[in-house]
Amino acid sequence: MITINDIKEAQQRVNGYAIKTPLLRVASLDEMLGCKVWLKPENLQLTGSFKMRGALNKLLSLTGDQKKQGVVCASSGNHGQAVAYAAKLLGINAKVVMPTNSNPVKLEGVHTYGADVILHGTKSSEREARMSEIVKQEGRVSVHPFEDDHVKAGQGTISLEIVEDNPAMNYIVVPVGGGGLISGIATAAKAVKPDIKVIGVEPAGAPRYRLSRMAKKPVSLDKVDTIADGTRTDKANPNNFPIIETYVDDLVSVDDEQIKQAMKLLLSKTKLFVEPSGALGIAAAMCKQLSCTANDEVCFVLSGGNGDLNLLADIIKE
pLDDT digits (tens, 9 = 90+) for 77-126: 899 999 999 999 999 999 999 999 888 888 999 999 999 999 999 888 89
Question: What number is the average pLDDT over the span 185-195?
Answer: 98
SS3 assignment, position 62:
coil
Residue 220, by phi and psi: left (phi above 0), alpha (psi -120 to 50) or beta?
A: beta
Contact 249, 199 (CB under 8 A): yes
- The active-site residue, picked from 76, 102, 159, 303, is 303
* pLDDT tens figures, 149-181: 999 999 999 999 999 999 999 999 999 999 999
Can you name the CATH fold of 4-49+148-317?
Rossmann fold (3.40.50)
What angle do helix axes 180-192 and 4-14 make, rounded to 10 degrees?
Answer: 110
Look up residue 165 and give its amino acid.
Answer: D
Question: Do 52-142 and 4-49+148-317 have the same topology in CATH?
Answer: yes
Greatest Cα pair distance, the chain, in angstroms, is: 56
DSSP notation for 150-182: HHHHHHHHHHHHHHHH-TT--EEEEE-SSSHHH
HSE of 259, CA atoms in CB hemisphere, 13 A:
27
| pLDDT the model gives residue 200 | 98
Please report which confidence band the pLDDT of residue 56 belongs to, taking 50, 70 and 90 as the band edges: very high
**Nearest partner of 71 among 56, 54, 59, 89, judged by Cα:** 59
| pLDDT the model gives residue 124 | 80
The question of whether 106 is a catalytic residue gets the answer no
- The active-site residue, picked from 36, 40, 51, 152, is 51
| pLDDT the model gives residue 318 | 83
| pLDDT the model gives residue 162 | 98
The question of whether 51 is a catalytic residue gets the answer yes
- Using a pLDDT cut of 90, give the percent of the chain over it: 91
Could you state, in order of their start, the residue ranges of all structural domains in the chain?
A: 4-49+148-317, 52-142
Beta carbons within 10 angstroms of residue 246's beta carbon: 12
CATH of the domain spanning 52-142, picked from 3.90.1300.10, 3.40.50.1100, 3.40.228.10, 3.40.50.10140? 3.40.50.1100
Backbone angles phi and psi of 126, in degrees to 5: -70, -40
Contact 40, 62 (CB under 8 A): no
